[in-house]
Amino acid sequence: MTAPTVRFTDERLANGLRLIVAEDHLAPVVAVCIWYAVGSKNEVPGKTGFAHLFEHVMFQGSRHVAKTEHMGLVQAAGGTLNGTTWLDRTNYFETMPSHQLELALWLEADRMATLLDALNQENLDNQRDVVKNEKRSSYDNRPYGEWSNKLQAHLFPPEHPYHHPTIGSMEDLDAASLEDVAAFFRTYYAPNNAVLAIAGDVDPAQARAWVERYFGGIAANPKIPPLGDMTVPAILGAESREIVEDQVPLPRHYFGFRAPRFGDPRLEALEVACQILAGGKGSRLYRRLVREERIAQDVAFFALGFVGGASIAAGEATVRPGVDPDVVERAFEEELERLGREPVTADELARARALIETYELEALQRVDERADRLAMFATLLDDPDLINRQLDRYLSVTPAEIQAVAAEVFRPDNRVVLTYMPASGPAARSADEETAA
């Protein structure tokens, strides 16, 4: 089985907008995906959560699009859409029936060119409330909800741009002003800070003409401030531990490690290791902790790739009732460290490769995933063709490479252990609770 090659064109408009077009006509659908090279890492102290709040403002209209009309027009055209914010980037995407491509391009261009015309205090206040409710839903009111924010804070020092969570803090969200929004937009939402990828049922010449028409006249920002040096030592230096009391019935450990940066082949070896460790019922952690020793209710292990400083390798295990949490922690860590001591078996590696191949093929079936990956590889690594080499890179990972990266990463002095324990009494009111905004 071979993966179909994704053929694409890659060019820049005069204003710096990078345009990638991948044509295929299997289904009458087309995906538009625009990545801006700005994320929570670009936020400054006192303004955390801003990149994400801004993403919400991007759906509040622009000069020729009324509030909520962006959603309405896309849905009335039979399309789907959303936007997401992460440490390294913010992205916006629409998947459309192919005859509606021009609408999606126009909508993206209108907000890149004229967002501030529609910005007002009412919309900002409204989306601030929505985002605060998103924070309550996704973190504050959810058992174990703070784990990822806590891991980030342990793995990166306070002055590092990856230290704070993308969702931000309630205080900082409250402090965001219209001037902040305008300045953020003028600084980062410029064509030379964006990659536009179009994939699917598209005539490339026509798409290029539309992109030139709608985006060509938008001015570049020649003064996008560079980020400071994000380098951190490859290893944390000392183990970091925290016990969290929460409204949870079962204890759970979260593990975090600094890992090689996104794009480093060692991170790909680590991702294969993640498959062998926790990818389904045949994996090592599941087999030992859940099935054989029956000390864990569930296990997981995965990598979150970042381009600045270090990535995060993270895992979790929920402790079964009546089991000593320390026993679960030791078994979990033993399995991680064993990967660094002895090579994986040929059969384990063959199974992991076969599964990874299927996952990749499955993902690349969809136009939205193709557009997203082209934009991702272009934005983060300046190498959109990785979409065609990624699978081979996974498949060529050797037992020695897995062992080497496991030995580098899974060290006690590179480890964060976060242990959630059932709170002894009714939980104290969350520090973030406040009166109605």
Partner 1 sequence: MTLEEILAARPTPGQPRAYSFPKFERTVLPSGLQVLTVHVPGRPLVSANLIFRIGAVDETADLAGATVLMARAMTEGTERYPGLALIEAAERLGSTLHADASWDAFAASVEVAASRLRAALELLDELVERPTFPAEEVARLRDERLNDLLQMRAEPRRRVEQAFSQTIFTAESPYSRLAGGDESTVGRLTRDELVGIHRALLSPERAALVVGGDLTGLDVPRMAEEVLGSLARRVSGRPAATLPWPAPVADSAVDRPIVRLYHRPGSVQSEVRIGHVGLPRRIPDFHAVQVMAAILGGLFNSRLQLNLREEKGYTYGVGAGFDMRRGAGPFGVRTAVQTAVTVPAISEALKELHRIRDTLVTEAELAVARDYMVGVFPLRFETPGAVVGAIGGLFVNGLPDDELARYRGLVEAVTAQDVQKAAHEHIRTDRLAIVLVGDADVVAKDLEAAGFGELEVIRDEVPGEIEQVDPSEGDEEGE
Query: DSSP secondary-structure letter at 287?
Result: I
Cα(163)–Cα(186) distance, integer angstroms: 25
Q: How far is the CB of 276 from partner 1 (least distance, A)?
A: 11
Q: Check residue 134 for interaction with partner 1 (CB under 8 A).
A: yes
Radius of gyration (C-alpha) of the chain in whole angstroms:
23
Binding mask 147-186 for partner 1 (x = CB under 8 A): ----------------------------------------
Q: Identify which of residues 231 and 430 has a Cβ nearer to partner 1 in the complex.
A: 430
CA angle 229, 232, 236 (to 5 degrees): 165
Task: Tell me how far apart the alpha carbons of residues 97 and 168 are, in angstroms, rounded to a whole number.
Answer: 36
Non-local CB neighbours of 16 within 8 Å, separated by 6+ positions: 190, 191, 192, 193, 220
Enter the tokens of residue 32.
Answer: 């538009």
Q: List the x/- string, 206-235, binding to partner 1 by CB under 8 A.
A: -------xx--xx-----------------
Residue carrying structure tokens 């261009």: 109
The site string for partner 1 over 248-277 (x = CB under 8 A, - otherwise) reads xxx---------------------------
Contact between 393 and partner 1 by CB under 8 A: the answer reads no
Is there binding between residue 293 and partner 1 (CB under 8 A)? Answer: no
Name the residue nearer to partner 1 (CB basis): 289 or 416. 289
Cα separation, 7 vs 22, whole angstroms: 6
- Residue 43 CA to residue 53 CA, distance in Å, equals 11
Min. distance of Cβ 255 from partner 1 in angstroms?
Answer: 19
CB atoms within 10 A of CB 77: 17
**With CB under 8 A as the contact rule, which of the stretches 226-234, 245-253, 330-338, 389-397 interacts with partner 1?**
245-253
Q: Which of 14, 27, 66, 227 binds partner 1 (CB under 8 A)?
A: 27
Q: Tell me how far, at minimum, the Cβ of 251 lies from partner 1, in Å.
A: 10
Quick check: 368 and 190 in contact, CB under 8 A? Answer: no
Report the distance separating Cα 93 and Cα 108, nearest Å. Answer: 9
Judged by CB under 8 A, the chain residues 325 through 384 that form the site for partner 1 are: 347, 350-351, 354-355, 357-358, 361-362, 365-367
100 makes contact with partner 1 (CB under 8 A): yes
Q: Which of 7, 46, 66, 142 binds partner 1 (CB under 8 A)?
A: 142
Considering only residues 65 through 84, tell me which ones interact with partner 1, judged by CB under 8 A. Answer: 67-68, 71-72, 75-81
